[in-house]
Structure 1
Amino acid sequence: MTIRQPLIIVLSILFLGYGFSAQASTLESGVLKEGICLQAGTQWYRHWTEKIKKVFKKEPSIKHGLLVRAKACNQSKGQEWDIDENGVISGVGGELSIYRWRKQFYPATALRHSKGLHSVRYRQQRLYFESRGSSYCLTLGKPMRFKTLPWEECLKSAESRWLFDLPPDPGAEGLIGLTGIDSNQDGIRDDVERFIERVLPDSIEKKETIRAMAISRQKIYESVENRDLVIELGTEVDIASDCFFFLSDGDPENILKKLEAATVNTEERARAWNKINSYFSGMSFTLPDDLSSQCSFKTEN
């Protein structure tokens, strides 16, 4: 019988949006198509008429700012955004704002506020703003055009999210070796971290539990030749799994299978995973009667 200690997960909730960071980073669309980022970098949209161009030229608040577009993520300066503890988003040209003209909303950066501008805040992974007493979010439609949704609808749609501070897609280089690429040095492979952010949008606790599991699995890959350490780390994975089952009311087993598929995604990693599993052959494990005992959450303000 294996005695399991509770998994202690520290959650740092600094404001109403997830992913606060003191460093500039990208805001990537949470729609199914990956790799589309928010970018400041033009005075007007190419398809605009001369009439609307004149309107924006006369607007003093955004005269020295830039319109914002959805572009392929490329780590350029225009795709760098800062988010403070109040959710204020700043980039090249000033704070992210919404300009309303003829019932249309246009995102732009601005150095100062005016009557026609609406400040955008990062809340619950959405771009939140208010206009005429109502709350909205800015999301991405087709083809690569912005659209707005009432706030209540935003919260029901995972695709209305903008993911802050995601590591870049490692591409083919992320498939090399057992441990892949961890560009932000948080203990999770970049491709696995991106998977977690997209699949688990609804709960900080679930996400942090899965992250704890991913970190332990990454350590297992790094220690594949050390049987004793692998078994010790395997217990950590089991504890996180129990905690995740407690937190989930849907189909947690399906999500865990998808996580394993995302982790064991090359022949080399599959061979190592088979070796790791062989260390546990013949061992028995006992589930606790109360799965909630496997996770304890502490919130830091």
Structure 2
Amino acid sequence: MQGQCLQAGIVQKLDKSEKLQQWLKQWPPKKRGYLVVLSDCDQHPQQDWINNDEQVFGTQGTLAVMKFRNRFIPIVNNGRSRFKSYPVKLEQGRLVFQDQKKQVSCLIPKNNFRFEHAPLEQCQNDPELKKLSRWLYALPPEPGEEGLSGLVGIDLDQDGIRDDVQRFIGVIAQDEPAEVKEAINKVAIIGQQELANAYDETTVLALFPQAIASFRCYLHRTKDDRRKYRKLRKEIEAKLYNTYDRLKAKNQINSYFGGMTISRPDDYEAQCNFQNE
């Protein structure tokens, strides 16, 4: 399964295509991305997709599946096909469609660009299918060795999260509800801002209330699951501070908080209202 991509409706993307750029401008950046399974797919020419929670759009039409014997084949429906097709949507990291019998299924990539399907309930509960049916969406390319240089690394989409960290979160949070993913992203954004300003004590201390609020927001949205909270914090910090220079910067950041006391808020839900600058 390494490197398996959704190949239906491949369009060679032209960076200078005025028509494509105009079309993309009408969609928020967070709704845009590639549908790929693993990082190996970054080297493939891929269809740009827009996910609006109901359908997945490409520059040539909507993502759908067409039944062929006992299989469902992914296609791009541009409204001109005379064959029956069923629209596909992205739901918690899975490509889901409903057939003529109202059976909700997920699309599972197989070798040689072949696809299978299974009832959505199986895809969510069977350990093997749960892994195979996952799709990454709207993630930047793997930055490679270049992403290990300096403190700030590579952030191609300018969303405030380093690309390797963003890809990592995309994998570990695929099955999480949208509000939990938002909280995780806030944790990462503030962590990246602290790292970028590690040797500026004034800026780091100014960020501290947002850093605490981001973790409290995550804790609230995961129903006060402190085991999950500690695990996530350890995983993100391991990814964020993944070089000697970044670990050194982390120690510098920690030195600013010596002797500081932190009060416990009455309303944890309100901690989610802060805005990342």
Alignment of 1:267-282 (within 5 A): 267-282=244-259
- In structure 2, C-alpha distance between the alignment counterparts of 1:190 and 1:172, rounded to whole Å: 12
What residue is the counterpart of 1:212 in the other structure?
A: 186
Structure 1 unpaired stretches of 5+: 1-18, 37-71
The higher-RCO structure (CA 8 Å, 6+ apart) is: 1
Are the structure 2 counterparts of residues 124 and 87 from structure 1 closer, same or farther at C-alpha, using a change threshold of 3 Å?
farther
User: Which region of structure 1 is more displaced relative to structure 2, 264-273 or 20-29?
Assistant: 20-29
Q: Is the 8 A contact 1:179 1:222 kept in 2?
A: yes
Alignment correspondent of 2:107:
138
Indicate how the Cα distance of structure 1 residues 279 and 21 shifts in structure 2: closer, same or farther if over 3 A, else same.
Answer: closer
Shift in Å at residue 114 of structure 1?
3.2
TM-score by length of 2: 0.76
Give the counterpart of 1:234 among 200, 205, 208.
208
Aligned 8 A contact 2:31 2:50 in 1: yes
The corresponding residue for 2:14 is: none
Shift of 1:166: 0.8
Between 110-119 and 201-210, report the one with greater CA deviation: 110-119
C-alpha spacing 1:255/1:285, structure 2 compared with 1 (3 Å): same
Retained in 1: the 8 A contact 2:96–2:104? yes
What amino acid sits opposite 1:229 in the alignment? T
Unpaired runs of 5+ in structure 2? 1-26
Instruction: Specify the SS of the correspondent of 1:275.
Output: helix
Residue 259 of structure 1: how far off its partner (Å): 0.5
8 Å CA contact retained: 1:99, 1:108: yes
Whole-Å separation in 1 of the counterparts to 2:184 and 2:85: 39
* 2:177 equivalent in structure 1: 203
Structure 1-normalised TM-score? 0.70
1:235/1:174 CA distance change after superposition, 3 Å? same
* Residue from 91, 96, 104 that aligns with 2:63: 96
Contact 1:88–1:121 under 8 Å retained in 2: yes
Which of 75, 82, 87 in structure 2 is aligned with 1:114?
82
Query: Percent of aligned positions with the same letter in both sequences?
Result: 34
User: For the residues of structure 1 that align with 2:51 and 2:218, how far apart are their CA atoms?
Assistant: 29
Change (3 A) 1:129 1:277: same
TM-align CA RMSD: 2.7
Q: Which has the higher helix share?
A: 2
Report if the CA contact (8 A) 1:89-1:96 is conserved. yes
More strand by share: 1
1:183-239 residue CA offsets vs partner (Å, 9 max, x unmatched): 001111011111112112212122111211211121112222211210121221111
Higher Rg of the two aligned structures = 1
User: How many pairs are equivalent?
Assistant: 239
